[in-house]
Amino acid sequence: DQQVKQNSPSLSVQEGRISILNCDYTNSMFDYFLWYKKYPAEGPTFLISISSIKDKNEDGRFTVFLNKSAKHLSLHIVPSQPGDSAVYFCAASASGGSQGNLIFGKGTKLSVKP
């Protein structure tokens, strides 16, 4: 039972254009969402997060949008750079229960072409 879904396994974008990575979730108890970036043979590294009390969070070239009614979030990268090529994981957590445990999506492999 996938509570966090990333339905696009891969995405290819031209350098300088916008990359949009999407994530859907099913658990209405999730109230904290994160994006991680992962290079081969390395651990995931934190990119950006958003709390459910917000609908947008921006950090430099990275912006995360949250649509609670649709249970959907997206990561925008603009402008995209070749160094952004990596696997991007969406993750979510809920207060109560297994506090702090991140539930991950399957990842989207982003390729940014020069």
Partner 1 sequence: DTAVSQTPKYLVTQMGNDKSIKCEQNLGHDTMYWYKQDSKKFLKIMFSYNNKELIINETVPNRFSPKSPDKAHLNLHINSLELGDSAVYFCASSQYRGKAFFGQGTRLTVV
Binding of residue 34 to partner 1 (CB under 8 A)? yes
Residue pair 105/6 in contact (Cβ under 8 Å)? The answer is yes
> Which residue's CB is nearer to partner 1, number 15 or number 62?
62
Q: Please state, in angstroms and rounded to a whole number, the distance separating the CA atoms of residues 81 and 33.
A: 24
Residue whose CB is less far from partner 1, 20 or 103 = 103
| Binder among 1, 42, 60, 70 for partner 1 (CB under 8 A) | 42
Burial of 92 (0-12, 13-18, 19+ CB in 10 A): buried
Which positions lie near partner 1, rule CB under 8 A?
32, 34, 36, 41-46, 49, 87, 89, 93, 95, 98-104, 106-107
